[in-house]
Amino acid sequence: MSLPGPVTINDMLQMAAQGDRAAFRALYAKAGPKLYAICLRMMRSRDQADDVFQEAMVKVWERSWQFDPAKGDGMAWLATVTRHCALDRMRRTPKNHVTLDDSVTREIEIATAVEMPADLADASGLMRCLDGLREDHRNAVVLAYVNGLTHEELAERLGRPLGTIKSWVKRGLEQLKDCMES
């Protein structure tokens, strides 16, 4: 069973919320590479990334009814669910020093290279908006959302109080949102 016509990620999420398995399979095929790249980047281990990715996709299936297109983009919602799964796993596992091996780095590059033209326009817009942020806000947002650092880890790494870090991330995200919407 195939989906009729061009269907957006938002549409697929809403159809999955109604129990449409074909829509969920299409969502998995379209968004999966980007979500898996998030898992790899944050977990820095293929085995851990596989587990987190599976957990995230189960949560998407079970909680797709919570997605509200009026509050934001479907891909952003999917990335948030995935990121939260990764952060939960990181909190539950002991801290070990792990480095990215070449195969993981290559897989991240392949997964993020599978972009649609509209996504490339979004990426250039995001880079423009990131460049417009104060350096401390930009660093906090990138370290939190790309590297997967928690607020506590950011505070330790940047040598700032936890409240300051939370403010930087919040303000940075607000400014990014305003810039991307304009």
pTM for the predicted model, two decimal places: 0.57
Architecture of the structural domain at 116-182: Orthogonal Bundle (1.10)
Which range, of 49-63, 82-96, 158-172, averages the lowest pLDDT?
82-96
Distance between CA atoms of 105 and 44, rounded to whole angstroms? 9
Ordered by start, the domain boundaries in the chain are: 1-114, 116-182
Nearby residues of 15 by Cβ (< 8 Å), 6 or more positions away: 3, 7, 23, 24
Whether 21 has a pLDDT exceeding 90, the answer reads: yes
pLDDT at 174: 86
- Same fold? 1-114, 116-182: no
The fold adopted by the segment(s) 1-114 is: Rna Polymerase Sigma Factor; Chain: A (1.10.1740)
Task: Yes or no: say if 49 and 40 are a contact pair by the CB < 8 Å rule.
Answer: yes
Share of the chain above pLDDT 70, in %: 80
